[in-house]
Amino acid sequence: MVTLGAGCGLRQGEIFGLAVDDVDFGEGVIHVRQQVKLIHGKQMFGLPKHDRERTVPLPESVAEALKGHLTQFPAREITLPWEELTGDPHALRLVLTSRVPKALNRNYINKVIWKPALERLGVIAKDRPTRKTTGRAKQTTREHGMHALRHYYASVLLDAGESVKALAEYLGHSDPGFTLRTHTHLMSGSDGRTRKVIDTALGLAHQETGTEPEQAT
């Protein structure tokens, strides 16, 4: 889950709904075609957010992790209704499933798997159980939820100089402006990049001419 979120920018529901047939190891891409939705406690398959299918790059590191996972845990066919609880049954060979097997349930994952993992790593403080503790209190906030993996993905690409338009397509945003507004705080300052670019350019000029940059001009 972490590798797909941080390495490909997939949403939680898209990770849960990723089918092995959506992964093209040869072309190095993942086709995001559906997600697992949870309505009134019931699961179903549906189109990704905004009804926008998309294709995202599959980095080699993520591909190797997926191959290793599928070798140990082969994809299993899961059948769920499509788009609504009374929708037609839709069968997909999912990359990630529960032990039962079923599609992963976000309520269970967030409360039983994700939050305890963050507590063990010291990312969030461990709750002290009280009589007033409710099920909602046990849930992770959006800041510390799996959505943070998409922010990590965005920050890495923006820091490397990827265009906002390309990032918007990878994240499945309909408007690059939304991507810029949402992730602009993740963009590192340009000072360091400017210094590096100029140093590289002037150093290259020195290597080619054998003179100091000011002499070369």
pLDDT tens-digit map of 109-119: 999 999 999 99
Contact 109, 116 (CB under 8 A): no
pLDDT of residue 96: 97
pLDDT above 90 (res 208): no
In this model, does residue 136 exceed pLDDT 50? no
Q: What share of the chain is helix, strand, coil (3-state, %, to 5)?
A: 50, 15, 35
- Give residue 127's pLDDT: 74
Q: What are phi and psi of 44, to 5 degrees?
A: -155, 160
Identify whether 176 is preceded by a cis peptide bond (ω within 30 of 0).
Answer: no
> Is-contact 37 43, C-beta < 8 A?
yes
Q: In angstroms, what is the C-alpha Rg of the chain? A: 22
Q: For residues 102-130, give the mean pLDDT.
A: 88
Q: CA–CA distance from 87 to each of 26, 78, 81, 153 (Å)? A: 33, 15, 5, 33
- What pLDDT is attached to residue 216? 47
Nearest Cα neighbor of 95 from 55, 120, 119, 65 is 65
- Using DSSP, state whether 92 is helix, strand or coil: strand
User: In Å, what is the CA distance from 181 to each residue of 46, 79, 118?
Assistant: 27, 38, 27
C-alpha closest to that of 148 among 169, 122, 123: 123
Model confidence over 88-102: pLDDT tens digits? 999 999 999 999 999
* pLDDT per residue as tens digits for the range 44-103: 999 999 888 999 999 999 999 999 999 999 999 999 999 999 999 999 999 999 999 999
Q: How many Å apart are CA 215 and CA 217, to the nearest integer?
A: 5
pLDDT at 209 over 80: no
pLDDT at residue 214 in the model: 52
**What is the pLDDT, as a whole number, of residue 137?**
45
Mean pLDDT of 164-187: 75
Read off the pTM: 0.78
pLDDT tens-digit map of 31-44: 999 999 999 999 99
pLDDT tens per residue, range 181-202: 666 555 555 566 666 767 777 7
- H or E element in which residue 66 lies: helix 60-72
pLDDT at 30: 96
With a cut of 70, say whether residue 205 has pLDDT above it: no
User: In this predicted model, which residue has the larger pLDDT, 212 or 60?
Assistant: 60
Read off the amino acid at residue 77. E
Mean pLDDT for the chain? Answer: 84
pLDDT of 162 reads 83
Who wins on pLDDT, 164 or 105? 105
